[in-house]
């Protein structure tokens, strides 16, 4: 009976300790930043994809526009109907691109809030400082990328307006002689589209670089040494 009582008391003492162990040491530490970071990486990739699709649609619209101006009057009338449909496709994809930029902006805002909160949980000033510097770099990099994305979106919106002007003009001026009067406007529009295409390439490159830095490991120069660990370079 005495042994049974001792075993019961021992089990009561062990249970609370086991419960504490099962909750985990890190259970009280907020580690939401990694999830937020991955969301931003994915949102950037999706934003670039939307940009590429919209760019392709504008290139298709440009090809139809050029064809209208060199086709016979009968063929031009048929192409004009296709042109109107293509402009609508461009508009839809520009809207989707804009929506994805908004998703990306919200995701980045959440990431930086989570990251800032994590800084308060460090006990090591040196490690906190390393993380803080990376946060500042991420903010600066994202601000530049967001500005570039908005710039391309603005160019696409302006191109839509120009396509609308062409559509309005062709509605009453599909005769060959009328189409020939657009040479100067064509040159300006082609130059504008070329600039937009170049800016799209810049966004793609900068987005890829930003994602690699945000999602990848620390650079060797940013390594934090453990106590007692010697630098191999020394």
Tens of pLDDT, residues 169-225: 999 888 777 777 788 899 999 999 999 999 999 999 999 999 998 875 433 333 334
Q: Do residues 41 and 215 make contact, with C-beta atoms less than 8 angstroms apart?
A: yes
Instruction: Tell me if 15 is assigned to some domain.
Output: no
pLDDT of residue 15 exceeding 70: no
CA angle 150, 138, 35 (to 5 degrees): 95
Q: How far apart are the first and last CA of the chain?
A: 67
| 125 or 5, greater pLDDT | 125
Instruction: Tell me if 67 is assigned to some domain.
Output: yes
Q: pLDDT grade, residue 52 (50/70/90)?
A: very high
Instruction: Tell me if 180 is assigned to some domain.
Output: yes
Give me the half-sphere count of Cα atoms (radius 13 Å) on the Cβ side of residue 159. 31
Map tokens 């520009």 to a residue: 94
In this structure, the number of other CB atoms found within 10 A of the CB of residue 195 comes to 11
Instruction: Tell me if 13 is assigned to some domain.
Output: no
How confident is the model at residue 118, as a pLDDT? 87
pLDDT in tens, 23-48: 565 555 556 667 788 899 999 999 99
Report the distance separating Cα 66 and Cα 164, nearest Å. 15
Cα Rg for the chain, rounded, in angstroms? Answer: 29
What's the total number of domains in the chain? 1
Structural domain including 203 reads 32-216
Instruction: Tell me if 22 is assigned to some domain.
Output: no
Q: 166: which residues sit within 8 A by CB, 6+ positions away? A: 65, 83, 182
Instruction: Tell me if 63 is assigned to some domain.
Output: yes
Instruction: Tell me if 113 is assigned to some domain.
Output: yes
Q: Do residues 91 and 53 make contact, with C-beta atoms less than 8 angstroms apart?
A: no
How confident is the model at residue 225, as a pLDDT? 42
Instruction: Tell me if 71 is assigned to some domain.
Output: yes
pLDDT in tens, 131-168: 999 999 999 999 999 999 999 999 999 999 999 999 99
């Amino acid at each position: 009976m005495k042994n049974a009582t001792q075993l019961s008391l021992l089990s009561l003492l062990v249970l609370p300790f086991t419960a504490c162990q099962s909750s985990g040491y890190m259970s009280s530490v907020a580690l939401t930043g990694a999830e937020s970071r991955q969301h931003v990486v994915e949102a950037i990739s999706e934003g670039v994809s939307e940009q590429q699709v919209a760019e392709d649609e504008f290139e298709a619209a440009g090809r139809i526009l050029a064809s209208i101006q060199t086709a016979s009057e009968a063929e031009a009338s048929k192409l004009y109907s296709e042109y109107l449909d293509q402009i609508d496709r461009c508009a839809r994809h520009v809207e989707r691109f804009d929506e994805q930029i908004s998703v990306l902006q919200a995701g980045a805002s959440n990431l930086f809030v989570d990251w800032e909160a994590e800084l308060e949980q460090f006990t090591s000033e040196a490690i906190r400082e390393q993380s803080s510097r990376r946060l500042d770099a991420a903010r600066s990099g994202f601000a530049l990328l967001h500005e570039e994305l908005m710039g391309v979106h603005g160019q696409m919106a302006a191109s839509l307006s120009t396509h609308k002007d062409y559509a309005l003009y062709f509605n009453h001026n599909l005769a060959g002689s009328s189409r020939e009067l657009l040479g100067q406007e064509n040159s300006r529009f082609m130059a504008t589209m070329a600039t937009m295409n170049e800016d799209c390439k810049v966004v793609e490159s900068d987005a890829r670089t930003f994602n690699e830095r945000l999602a990848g490991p620390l650079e060797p120069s940013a390594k934090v040494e453990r106590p007692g660990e010697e630098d191999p370079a020394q």
